[in-house]
Amino acid sequence: MNRLKAIQGDITKVHVDAIVNAANTTLLGGGGVDGAIHRAAGSGLYAACLKFHGCPTGEARITHGFRLPAEYVIHTPGPIWRDGNHGEDELLANSYRNSLKLAEENNCHTIAFPSISTGVYAFPLERAAHIAVTTIHNFLRDSQVIDEVKIVCFDPVTLASYQREIEKL
């Protein structure tokens, strides 16, 4: 069974143990998937995120899912694309890796990721998909906890990019 798959849909409606939020460093909501997750979860998520006083790029924090179908939300600020020469690739890999570590520590068997940093943060999609799929695949080789990872893509172009990377595995 392939433990990694890409699907198209709305991450706020996916039934998994944890969804990952492509957050900003304040963790207090924003645009895109971040805003959608905060709206769907309700005000309890904002209150839970306040206690962290932010989160550095590439790290991750976990809260309950509140009104979401997921038990947990894992918040990770991905890197803002500058030119590829400022550690963006490693920061993006860290966002995925640290999110997976938190999922494992909280006994999450199923996890859903958005395409981190490819929206307003302008990370090139093909490059981001390669980093995400490679990082998740490598993590799953050693994981005894996580059974399935879904990359939930907002549109068909993003979905196709992730599916191409998964087929290379």
Verify whether residue 34 is a known catalytic residue. yes
Buried b (16+ CB within 10 A) or exposed e, 13-45: ebebbbbbbbbbeebbbbeebbebbbebbeeeb
Q: In this model, does residue 28 exceed pLDDT 70?
A: yes
Q: In this model, does residue 1 exceed pLDDT 90?
A: no
Sequential DSSP letters for 74-128: EEEEPPPPSSS-SSHHHHHHHHHHHHHHHHHHTT-SEEEE--TTSSTT---HHHH
pLDDT band at 33; cut points 50, 70, 90: very high
pLDDT given at position 2? 83
Average pLDDT, the chain: 97
Pairing relation of β-strands 72-77 and 61-64? antiparallel
Q: What is the pTM of this model?
A: 0.97
Mean pLDDT (whole number) for 29-33 = 92
In whole angstroms, give the CA distance from residue 161 to residue 19: 20
Contact 121, 34 (CB under 8 A): no
Which domains are assigned to the chain?
4-167 (3.40.220.10)
Marked catalytic residue, from 10, 17, 34, 147: 34
